[in-house]
Amino acid sequence: MSIDQTLTSQERLADLDLDQLRRLVGLVEYDPDGDPFPVTGWDAVVWSVGNATQTALFFQAVFGMELVAYSGPETGNRDHQAYVLRSGAVRFVFQGGVDPASTLLDHHRRHGDGIVDIALEVPDVDRCIAHARAQGAKVLVEPQDLSDEHGTVRTAAIAVYGDTRHTLVDRSRYTGPYLPGYVARSSSRVKPEGKPTRLFQALDHVVGNVELGRMNEWVDFYNRIMGFTNMAEFVGEDIATEYSALMSKVVASGNHRVKFPLNEPAPGRKRSQIDEYLDFYGGPGAQHLALATDDILRTVDVLRAEGIQFLATPDSYYEDPALRARIGEVRVPIEELQSRGILVDRDSDGYLLQIFTKPLGDRPTVFFELIERHGSLGFGVGNFKALFEAIEREQAQRGNF
Ligand SMILES: [Fe+2]
């Protein structure tokens, strides 16, 4: 039995090691030999946005990300501009249409700013595609080699929920800054003195919102086609408020680097946050990305000072004796969490700290979570009720509740 101990190319670049990843995102050991669709980890999250030039600057200035590569008219790409940014092992690619006929502009018209591709690093693209095809997956891009002076990348893509895809990438024979077609590019922006260099180190999970009644289909898709295993499920009381409800199941790759909670709305007295998302995104799509940090207090302070708005947590959350008893000792006094609105959850493995931003774009769709894990491999189920009530307050202000 071989135990997978491989770092992704991004993790190596970020100087992360397996111990850090165990702490940050709950990485586990596993045997890839019996896995029909081995996944090493995240490759990139690719966004379609209305203005990639400005969005790239926003994620540098506010989220402290670093510009590393670029593709656009100057590099021979007349269709769109694309900026590749990184923070630790996290890679975001922001694409915006240049040619009025670009299909990216159609995507943006339908969905607004959103995630088009959750790309995964795999050791063997052909093996994954052969298995996926045999299991009935829709192959959007057949396995192909892309080459330039830095070597060769083998990629392919399969369709998942809505207009979202998973591109599979084997970059073991490639040393370039991102993909052929991209050139290395660093920022002309001057970092303010004293601003921390890395506000988050790794991607913990990406949540998909799917239509009513289809969550189990997508769980089955990830089980059968991609060999993912079920990690957790949340149904019933845990995940309902007085007014609205949803259901959620979490699937994970063998090593738990890649975790996909999948949500569907559940019938309630009012409109669920998932229904609001589906209406405004124009169908299923990626709802939130959880960014793992080793210092959530510092990250929240910096982001708040930059103007990022977080969901408000009422003081009653921190004053609840049942919550205080349940969370026990955490690394800072609870007042430090309260003043920042950071939530705590504890299970038998440990605890986690988390907080959620408001949607970052114009539509009430995609948002971010920050997460600092201390042993807990959970998703903050103890906070779902408080969190959903906060979301309902926001939904009501938008007139969508
Ligand atoms: Fe989450």
User: pLDDT at position 2, please?
Assistant: 54
Q: How far apart are CA 359 and CA 363, in angstroms?
A: 7
Q: Quick one: pLDDT at residue 401?
A: 87
* Residues 361/111, Cβ–Cβ less than 8 Å: no
Distance 288 CA to ligand 1 centre (A): 7
180 and 209, same domain (yes or no):
no
CA–centroid distance, 206 to ligand 1, in Å, is 7
State how many domains the chain has: 2
CA–centroid distance, 204 to ligand 1, in Å, is 8
Q: Are residues 233 and 85 in the same domain?
A: no
DSSP symbol at 189:
P
H or E segment to which residue 167 belongs: strand 165-170
Last residue of a domain, one of 184, 218, 234: 184
CA of 192 to the centre of ligand 1 (A): 30
**Residue 282: left (phi > 0), alpha (psi -120 to 50), or beta?**
left
> Measured in angstroms, how far is the CA atom of residue 66 from the centroid of ligand 1?
24
- Averaged pLDDT in 10-residue chunks for the chain of 401 residues: 73 91 90 91 98 97 96 97 97 98 97 98 97 97 98 98 98 96 92 85 97 94 96 79 85 96 88 92 98 97 96 87 84 93 92 96 96 92 82 88 87
Same domain, 384 and 247: yes
Q: Name 21's Cβ contacts closer than 8 Å, sequence gap at least 6.
A: 7, 11, 27, 202, 257
Rounded Cα gap, residues 22 and 119, in angstroms: 21
CATH of the domain at 293: 3.10.180.10
pLDDT at 3: 58
**387: CA distance to ligand 1 center in Å?**
11
pLDDT for the residue numbered 256: 94
The CA distance from 8 to 123, in Å, is: 10
Cβ–Cβ under 8 Å, residues 116 and 46: yes
Residue 146 lies in a domain: yes
Residues 86, 123 share a domain: yes
User: How much is the pLDDT for 267?
Assistant: 82
Using a 10 angstrom Cβ sphere, with 0-12 exposed, 13-18 middle and 19 or more buried, the burial of residue 235 is middle
Which residue segment(s) compose the domain that 152 sits in? Answer: 9-184
77 Cα–ligand 1 center, Å? 35
pLDDT given at position 176: 97
